[in-house]
């Protein structure tokens, strides 16, 4: 059986140049910093990555750039779920070919009120068309964005039909009852990742695999410390710190712009501010407010810098 991914994974932010093309140099540099500072894996092309603002060809090229730069493919879980079955197959097959440890797969999200039979057929068709035993699918449940929920019955059916292929899920619904139901029904053999920082400790104690959250882009060290300490006396304190940070950031300008603005400030690199439309950059007033509040919290990003330093934080 292939090894399941676990720990803290970042849905990697995608830097773009002034002409809005992907900025591969900054992308690779940020991925290295994440792996050096607490992330056990990377999930490029997730919601935080602006994935659905990038074409299939752009995502293929960005994934190749990571592998070509020497980042371990086994630590990559790229998002490959698209509305078009053929795009999902193309992206997923390419990830398998490159040796990625898994893929994070959205359901087809344009048509709504699709019955489980239709969703099952979609996922099954992807698996059968690829036909590669190395394929490891982590389902992506984010109904508030996709408006296509993944039921326990559908997940159970997929696991039963493809036990060595459908191996986990990222639950970003933000509903602890849903995450808890997933844990009780399928963990620990089926890897349950929470998409909500505040649920990380409860997820781990329930047999979950870890987290895949936007905040891992700026706080991989804090999330990793909590992951490591889940079963010791510091766990509650570390969870409180993690929750305090993400709560401070919640409810501001669109979160992708907020997280990019934070990196731009702490890396002294304004090139990080750019986003792809329809998302808008932070205003100077919004940016100042975020940085002021982070400073009051004592927040830091160890080792981050425009020059691309990769030194690890002090123990």
Residue 312 pLDDT: 37
pLDDT tens-place string over residues 127-175: 999 999 999 999 999 999 999 999 999 999 999 999 999 999 999 999 9
Quote the mean pLDDT of the chain.
95
**1 — pLDDT class (breaks 50, 70, 90):** low
pLDDT tens-place string over residues 192-239: 999 999 999 999 999 999 999 999 999 999 999 999 999 999 999 999
Would you say residue 314 has pLDDT above 50? no
pLDDT tens-place string over residues 253-308: 789 999 999 999 999 999 999 999 999 999 999 999 999 999 999 999 999 874 44
**In the chain, how many H helices and how many E strands?**
12, 7
Residue 308 pLDDT: 43
Residue 187 pLDDT: 97
DSSP 163-197: TTTEEEEEE-S--HHHHHHHHHHHTTTSEEEES-G
**180 — pLDDT class (breaks 50, 70, 90):** very high
Domain boundaries, the chain: 7-232
Residue 252 pLDDT: 78
Whether the full predicted model's pTM is greater than 0.85, yes or no, is yes
Q: Are strands 166-171 and 191-194 parallel, antiparallel or unpaired?
A: parallel
Q: Omega of the bond prior to 278 within 30 degrees of 0, cis?
A: yes
Q: How far apart are CA 302 and CA 313, in angstroms?
A: 6
Would you say residue 43 has pLDDT above 70? yes
- Do the beta carbons of residue 126 and residue 85 sit within 8 Å? yes
Torsion sign over Cα 53, 195, 263, 282: positive
Would you say residue 19 has pLDDT above 70? yes
HEC-encoded secondary structure of 188-236 = CCCEEEECCHHHHHHHHHCCCCEEECHHHHCCHHHHHHHHHCCCCCCHH
**309 — pLDDT class (breaks 50, 70, 90):** very low
- Do the beta carbons of residue 22 and residue 54 sit within 8 Å? yes
3-state secondary structure of 159: helix
Q: How far apart are CA 75 and CA 43, in angstroms?
A: 9
Residue 262 pLDDT: 97
**Percent of the chain with pLDDT strictly greater than 90:** 93
**3 — pLDDT class (breaks 50, 70, 90):** confident
Q: Which of 195, 112, 177 lies closest to 148, judged by CA?
A: 112
Q: How far apart are CA 310 and CA 31, in angstroms?
A: 10
> Looking at domain 7-232, which of 3.40.30.10, 2.170.190.11, 1.10.15.40, 3.20.20.70 is its CATH number?
3.20.20.70
Instruction: Output the six-digit token pair for 267.
Output: 């890396």
HSE of 19 in the Cβ direction (CA atoms, 13 Å)? 2
Taking residues 93-118, report their average pLDDT.
97
Which DSSP symbol is given to 144? Answer: H
Cα(first)–Cα(last) distance of the chain, in Å?
34
**What are residue 192's DSSP bridge partners?**
169
**251 — pLDDT class (breaks 50, 70, 90):** confident
**247 — pLDDT class (breaks 50, 70, 90):** very high
**What are residue 50's DSSP bridge partners?**
none
Instruction: Output the six-digit token pair for 277.
Output: 């439309």
Instruction: Output the six-digit token pair for 29.
Output: 């540099």
Would you say residue 191 has pLDDT above 80? yes
- Do the beta carbons of residue 138 and residue 191 sit within 8 Å? yes
DSSP 29-80: HHHHHHHHTT-SEE--SSGGGTGGGS-HHHHHHHHHHHHHTT--GGGB--B-
Active site residues: 47, 110, 140, 170
Residue 140 pLDDT: 98
Would you say residue 39 has pLDDT above 60? yes
CA distances to 62, 116, 215, 225 from 5, rounded to whole Å, are 21, 26, 19, 18
């Amino acid at each position: 059986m292939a090894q399941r991914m676990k720990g803290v994974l970042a849905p990697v932010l995608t830097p773009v140049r002034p002409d809005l093309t992907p900025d591969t140099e900054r992308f690779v540099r940020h991925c290295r910093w994440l792996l050096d500072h607490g992330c056990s894996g990377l999930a490029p092309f997730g919601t935080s990555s602006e994935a659905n603002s990038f074409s299939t060809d752009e995502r293929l090229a960005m994934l190749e750039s990571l592998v070509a730069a020497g980042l371990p493919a086994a630590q990559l879980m790229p998002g490959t779920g698209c509305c078009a079955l053929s795009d999902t197959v193309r992206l997923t097959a390419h990830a398998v070919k490159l040796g990625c440890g898994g893929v994070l797969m959205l359901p087809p999200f344009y048509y709504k009120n699709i019955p489980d039979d239709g969703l099952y057929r979609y996922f099954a068709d992807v698996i059968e068309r690829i036909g590669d035993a190395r394929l490891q699918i982590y389902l992506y449940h984010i109904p508030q964005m996709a408006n296509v929920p993944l039921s326990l019955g559908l997940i159970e059916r997929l696991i039963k039909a493809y036990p060595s292929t459908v191996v986990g899920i990222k639950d970003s619904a933000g509903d602890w009852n849903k995450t808890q139901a997933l844990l009780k029904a399928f963990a620990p053999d089926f890897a349950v990742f929470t998409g909500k920082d505040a649920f990380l400790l409860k997820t781990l104690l329930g047999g979950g695999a870890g987290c895949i959250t936007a905040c891992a882009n700026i706080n991989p060290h804090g999330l990793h410390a909590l992951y490591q300490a889940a079963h010791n006396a510091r766990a509650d304190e570390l969870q409180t710190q993690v929750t305090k940070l993400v709560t401070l950031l919640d409810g501001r300008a669109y979160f992708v712009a907020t997280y990019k603005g934070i990196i731009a400030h702490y890396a002294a690199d304004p090139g990080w501010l750019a986003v792809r439309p329809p998302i808008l950059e932070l205003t100077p007033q919004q940016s100042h407010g975020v940085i002021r509040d982070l400073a009051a919290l004592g927040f830091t990003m160890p080792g981050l810098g425009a020059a691309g330093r990769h030194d690890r934080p002090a123990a």
